[in-house]
Amino acid sequence: MEELATGLDQSGVRFAWSVREATIGHVSGEYGGGPTMHRAVGSFLTHFGWNSVMESVVAGVPMLAWPMGADQFMNATLLVDQMKVAVRVCEGAETIPNAAELARVLAESVTSASASASAGRVMKRRAMELSKAAMHAIKEGGTSSRTWML
């Protein structure tokens, strides 16, 4: 939690950090909570579970990937390497992201002022395109709707 907090602070971007009610793991100091989505979110640090991915895709928000297990690694491969709407910041439940690297990636993902942020702008554009495609697919008569009805 300290590395995450330091990385967020060093990024120089405004952020909202939402933490769930304490669980046994929280109380014992083993781990912490995560953020919830809001329309003003510029990027989303996520473990890459499918529910988090879908929430971000529909919102058109670029993701910072921290897959920890199971299908999360495949989800990250799809959205980071193939669809390019996310960037990997860390991998594995036992791995802690480097605060300085997290700060850099976070700042690039939400800032459009610097030349180094061009990757962030591209990621945001691609995330918005993916959102439009997802919304088109789930609307009445869309490909998702038609497939579901079969």
Task: Give pLDDT tens digits for 5-31.
Answer: 888 888 888 877 766 666 665 555 555
Which pLDDT value is given to residue 71?
94
- The per-residue pLDDT of the chain, averaged, comes to 80
pLDDT digits (tens, 9 = 90+) for 85-107: 999 999 998 998 888 888 888 88
3-state helix, strand, coil in the chain (%, to 5): 50, 5, 40
Report which of residues 39 and 109 the model is more confident about: 109
Contact 61, 44 (CB under 8 A): yes
Digit-coded pLDDT (tens) for 52-71 = 899 899 889 899 999 999 99
- Give the domains, in start order, of the chain with CATH numbers: 40-149 (3.40.50.2000)
Question: CA distances (Å), 131 to each of 26, 96, 128, 137, in order?
Answer: 33, 30, 5, 10
- Nearest to residue 127, comparing CAs of 57, 68, 72? 57
pLDDT at 35: 42
Does residue 127 or residue 4 have the better pLDDT? Answer: 127
**Mean local confidence (pLDDT), 32-48:** 68
CB contact at 8 A, 120 and 111: yes
10: number of Cβ within 10 Å: 16
Dihedral sign from CA coordinates of 56, 60, 61, 65 = positive
